[in-house]
Amino acid sequence: MEYNDLIRTRESIRSYDPARPVEPDKLTLILEAGRISPSAANRQPREFWLISSAPMLETIRECYHRDWYKNAPHILAVVGKKDEAWVRTADGYNSVETDTAIALTHIILAAENEGVGACWIAAFDEVKLRKALDLKENEVVFGITPLGYPVPGFSKKGEKIRKAFQDVVKYL
């Protein structure tokens, strides 16, 4: 899809058909978009954990209580590695959250480009998620997304509710 159309028509999808897994080649393209995303000092302090197996899905579904989320055939977690991220010397800023956010943005746009629905989720139960994924101390998840096709008959809202251009852009 043309880039401007892609960013204008992408929406968070909160409808998933549990009976329709995403084709492996499409999943690979989507994961590849995460892999090639930029990161501070090219440290690439993140991994992409795709959950599609029934027992793991069952566990990860307990981390966020929405029916639409529970219907997704795949859940993707971008796992950041704090100890691998770039750190700014002057003030100790660690880029892991930024790097994982960029990767997940790449992934969500790539999913849209493949006609696959996604929705950034941050409001998960962090304690349950850590346990479900068996995260190590240096590993952190800021966002997960379901991946899947919407149920038949689903249609997007087709509108972007955003602040006005003049309210968010400054020319200095």
Ligand X SMILES: Cc1cc2nc3c(=O)[nH]c(=O)nc-3n(C[C@H](O)[C@H](O)[C@H](O)COP(=O)(O)O)c2cc1C
- Cβ at position 172, least distance to ligand X in Å: 26
Give the residue with the Cβ less far from ligand X, 4 or 89: 4
- Cβ at position 100, least distance to ligand X in Å: 10
Residue 40 is given by DSSP the state: G
Helices and strands (H and E) in the chain: how many? 7, 4
Give the residue with the Cβ less far from ligand X, 67 or 137: 67
Give the residue with the Cβ less far from ligand X, 14 or 26: 14
Give the residue with the Cβ less far from ligand X, 86 or 120: 120
- Cβ at position 11, least distance to ligand X in Å: 4
- Cβ at position 104, least distance to ligand X in Å: 8
How far apart, in whole angstroms, are the C-alpha atoms of residue 78 and residue 141? Answer: 6
- Beta strands across the sheet bearing 46-51: 46-51, 74-81, 139-148, 117-118
- Cβ at position 21, least distance to ligand X in Å: 21
Select from 56, 47, 57 the least CA-distant residue to 77. 47
How far apart, in whole angstroms, are the C-alpha atoms of residue 26 and residue 40? Answer: 27
Which residues contact ligand X by CB under 6 A? 11-12, 119-123, 143
Give the residue with the Cβ less far from ligand X, 22 or 72: 72
Number of CB atoms found within 10 A of residue 168's CB: 8
Residue type, 102: I
Select from 16, 7, 13 the least CA-distant residue to 152. 16
